[in-house]
Amino acid sequence: MKKAYQRYLEHLQAKLNKVSEQSEKIELAATWISQCMMENGYIYTSGTGHSHMFAEEIFYRAGGFARVVPIFDDALMLHKDASLSTEIERKEGYAAKLFENYPIGKNDVFIISSNSGRNTVSIEMAMIAKQKGAKVIVITNLKHTKSVDSRHVSGKMLYEVSDLFFDNIGEIGDAATSIEGLDFRVGATSTVIGVSILQAIMVQATENLVSKGYLPEIFSSSNSDEGEEHNNALINKYKGYIKGL
């Protein structure tokens, strides 16, 4: 029998191979992103629990767009109180408070990830962004989300309030690898697959823009001398608008 890491990596590769089955959606999302950039819009992004990593993945990232606005909230992340974040992400009305200082609108795109897609804050954030005219893109786990009930009063799951959604092709509970003698599986896959989908969208959007003669503002590596100077110019330009820069 193959070792656990070998089985896990093979499982991941099989999932990555299946991502191409969502190629039409990737190209549509990339079209929306490129239109957003050409119309001087912003990519807003958020997530709760481990899904906040998706927002970090495209914010202030080498090779990533400068006009990315992450909506980070300490109470919804894991670095201060992980168990509390689980409670907060189920609170009705919390999303509206988060959006108070973010002027998201019709030229913008909102990207949110949630593996279960059932919790109130993520669903309400998507609803608010949509109400304000932004395109809403969701990355979720359809197998998991269809196995549970929504925690939102509407009864809807996150993918049901999106303009476009992607399936991270994960298992119920996310962990994928069984170990003999252990009751629970290990090795989550949602981050690896979800981030691959997300970056695929971004690189295609970039190619779309360049092919149209539009050179997008892209961060370089701050660990190279020329990259640091380039990035500082972008930081100075957007620091007053994008929180966290």
What SS3 string covers 7-56?
Answer: HHHHHHHHHHHHHHHHHHHHHHHHHHHHHHHHCCCCEEEEECHHHHHHHH
Q: Give the mean pLDDT of 62-75.
A: 90
Structural domain includes residue 42: yes
Closest among 114, 150, 156, 106 to 130, alpha carbons compared: 106
pLDDT number for residue 140: 96
User: What's the CA gap between 87 and 227, in Å, rounded?
Assistant: 41
pLDDT number for residue 39: 97
Instruction: Say whether 166 sits in a helix, a strand or coil.
Output: strand
Tell me the two tokens of residue 152.
């939102």
Q: Beta partners for 47? A: 113
Closest among 9, 1, 3, 2 to 176, alpha carbons compared: 9
The DSSP output letter for 188 is E
Cβ neighbours of 120 (radius 10 Å): 21
Give the contacts of 226 (CB within 8 A, at least 6 positions apart).
220
pLDDT number for residue 227: 82
pLDDT number for residue 212: 97
Q: Give the mean pLDDT of 130-147.
A: 96
Structural domain includes residue 49: yes
Confidence of residue 91 (pLDDT cuts 50, 70, 90): confident
Q: Give the mean pLDDT of 140-166.
A: 95
Q: Beta partners for 175? A: 188
Q: Give the mean pLDDT of 82-111.
A: 85
Token pair 């009305």 is found at 93
Token pair 């295609």 is found at 204
pLDDT number for residue 226: 78
Cβ neighbours of 194 (radius 10 Å): 27
Q: Beta partners for 43? A: 68, 109
pLDDT number for residue 76: 67
Task: Give the C-alpha distances (Å, rounded to integers) separating 47 from 76, 86, 99, 121, 167.
Answer: 8, 12, 13, 9, 16
- Considering its fold, how many domains does the chain have in total? 1
pLDDT number for residue 229: 87
> Can you give the CATH number for the domain in which 200 is found?
3.40.50.10490
Q: Which residue has the higher pLDDT, 60 or 72?
A: 60
Q: Which helix (H) or strand (E) holds 94?
A: helix 94-98
Confidence of residue 157 (pLDDT cuts 50, 70, 90): very high
Structural domain includes residue 4: no
> Domain range holding 51?
24-238
Confidence of residue 168 (pLDDT cuts 50, 70, 90): very high
- Give pTM, 2 decimals: 0.93
pLDDT number for residue 78: 59
pLDDT number for residue 142: 95
Q: Which helix (H) or strand (E) holds 186?
A: strand 186-188
* Per-chain mean pLDDT for the chain: 92
